[in-house]
Structure 1
Amino acid sequence: MTTSSASIGFNYNPLDRRSERRDDHAFIESLRSAPSARFLVFEDDIPLLKGGSQHDAWFLASEAATFGQPLHSVFLGQESDGSGRFALGFKLGLELADLSPGTVHRRIDLRSIAMQGLVSPAVLGMLGEAKSMLDWHRRHSFCANCGSMSRATAAGWQRICDACGARHFPRVDPVVIMLGIDGERCLLGRQRQFAAGMYSALAGFVEPGETVEDAVRREVLEETRVKCAQVVYFASQPWPFPSSLMIGCFAQAIDMEIVVDTTELEDARWFSRSEVAAMLAGTHASGLSAPKPYAIAHHLLQAYVEQGSSVLRS
């Protein structure tokens, strides 16, 4: 992993996923039943954490059993000591007050966990893996081929339809997120749902039959009418909301006039490097801000502040 990738939220996940052993039921069950096994617990798509000021995401098997039978279970991988790590998904409405006397359980959404730095980078990466997988199971109970019920197999990494034999695999949606650059200025936009005063890099889904570079150029053009030429890859980020892969890029802008697509954006404008530095530091004169460090957009902006247009050198 590159230095730029390692510092981005959800990117550090040290587990050995053991993809070659997922069909080995005896192996997976031996890990699950071992005393060293640990479990991430989700109520729908919200993780449960133990503790007050100290937040612990891991549950023993006996602790997880107090929640009842999970709707979904996924093998996440093995720690360096060989112990197994699993994710369990439960329905909404767990009665936490009666569970594990003396232990505080808190429902905290994953975005808040990331923003507040409540767990280590490694655990955050595992929570992201777990959330994406459990969300996929919730959304794909039925076969897309024939409409029959499907069931989980391969330690939670496949779903199979017994009616037609179709196999379904977890989906990942590629998204380009890019910073258009014109020398000492960069192009940022804001969506209506953003926090007041926050601007970020533009982003959009890659379409079928499209390269990353073409997706960058198309999305910038569609949202702002700004044309771009050279595109340079920066880093990527798994984004478990619900299951995207953010592909961070820089793009050389070749015209400057902005025409905002108001169906996509509330506003877009050029920002100087000094403005962006102030936004990252929280000292912008107009109170404008940028995404927090857990988001890849923050790191795109930070790299531009530190390196200027040299980020376009491939």
Structure 2
Amino acid sequence: MPASIPTFSGFAFVAQPLDRADPLRDDADALARHWPRARVLVLDAEGLAYADEHGQPAALTGADIGPAPGTAIFLGLAGEQAWFCVDATQVTVEAPGRIDLRRAGAEWPGALSTAFAYARGMSWWQARTRFCGVCGGPIAFRRGGFIGHCAQCGNDHYPRVDPAVIVAVSDGARLLLGRQASWAPRRYSVIAGFVEPGESLEQTVAREVHEETQIRIDACQYLGAQPWPFPGALMLGFRAQADGAQPPQVDGELEDARWFTREEVGAALARDGHDDGEGLLLAPSISIARALIEDWYHRG
């Protein structure tokens, strides 16, 4: 075991975030001045980003694209350079390849994959906010893409994220992991679920763990968060304690749940994503789920 406990980190989509430069969203003239030199991420209807022949982000500027589409989303600033994202259907430029966000999280520099995750969440929200949920009127986007305004009833609509808890439950010696039927054989992960109206995060942790495994936790502690735009979640990471005498039981949502020993988890971490056909498989290294498992393991 290492002598010191590592900082809770290592997952994707949180490194070197852009300065969101909120005041600029109201300044259409300033955004127009920034556009020609701006870095632009182009995303297609599936949320894939334009990439070069090496799978890296296509180095496109506003000048490469031409006039800014009305649906261009102002993401913020990196130093003096503005960043935008645009819908591929609104531009005429092409690129040799496309890349999905999970692959980008593993292969792109942290700042770039973080910007991609931000763009992915915003573009997904815009694509699903075409009409007003109050009156059905058409939506026009304002403030650099951050407000959807209904011309018919005047209501404004704002970007949404869905908060979800994800929790490493331990009895001190073992870690509680579950699996969904759709996952690869032998893959298990920590317990997760969405926050419901009227709940605190701690209440959600207790409810989700019990609903999915029938385990009742004694206490929990917040550790950190990860944007997870698949399509629009924010994963809020916890660790929790429970009495290991409680046998996990599943009822529909999970296919299986069980307690795993430190030796079993350590062997899975040592495989580092390379499936040798035996033993436990864990969540990918880009995820907060993996970080929670590693945090539990290294704490001893």
The aligned residue for residue 25 of structure 2 is: 22
Structure 2, unaligned runs of 5 or more:
1-5
Report the equivalent of 1:118.
107
Deviation of 1:50 after TM superposition, in Å, equals 3.4
- RMSD in angstroms over aligned alpha carbons? 2.2
Query: Is the counterpart of residue 107 in structure 1 residue 105 in structure 2?
Result: no
1:176–1:246 CA contact under 8 A, matched in 2: yes
Q: CA deviation at 1:73?
A: 1.4
Letter in 1 for 2:62: A
Matched ranges for 1:141-290 at <5 A: 141-254=130-243, 255-261=245-251, 263-282=252-271, 286-290=278-282
Distance 1:228 1:86 in 2: 44
**Partner Cα separation in structure 1 for residue 29 and residue 130 of structure 2:** 25
Aligned residue type for 1:73: A
Residue deviations 1:123-175 (CA, integer Å, cap 9, x gap): 00000000000000001111111111111000001100111110110001100
The offset of 1:256, in angstroms, is 1.7
Normalised to the residue count of structure 2, the TM-score between the two structures is: 0.90
Instruction: Say whether the 8 Å CA contact 1:175–1:205 is kept in structure 2.
Output: yes
TM-score, normalised to structure 1's length?
0.86
Residue ranges of structure 1 left out of the alignment (5+ in a row): 309-314
The answer on whether the counterparts of 1:71 and 1:89 sit within 8 Å (CA) in structure 2 is: no
Deviation at 1:30, TM superposition (A): 1.3
The answer to whether residue 8 in structure 2 is matched with residue 4 in structure 1 is yes
In 2, Cα distance between equivalents of 1:220 and 1:236: 18
Quick one: which amino acid aligns to residue 298 of structure 1?
R
1:263-301: CA deviations, max 9, x gaps? Answer: 211111100112111112228883321011100010001
Question: What is the deviation of 1:113?
Answer: 2.2
AA of the residue aligned to 1:289: L
Contact 1:46 1:107 in 2 (8 A): no
2: CA distance between counterparts of 1:205 and 1:154? 29
Please give the alpha-carbon distance, in whole angstroms, between the structure 2 residues aligned to 1:91 and 1:278. 46
Q: d(CA) in 1 for partners of 2:60 and 2:7? A: 31
Instruction: Write the letter of the residue equivalent to 1:109.
Output: D
How big is the shift at 1:44?
A: 1.1
Aligned length: 291
**Cα shift readout 1:71-127 (whole Å, capped 9, x = no counterpart):** 7310000112x11100001249x99xxx56xxx51122212222xx32101000000
Q: Show CA shifts across 1:205-248 (max 9, x none).
A: 00111011110000000001000011111110000111111000
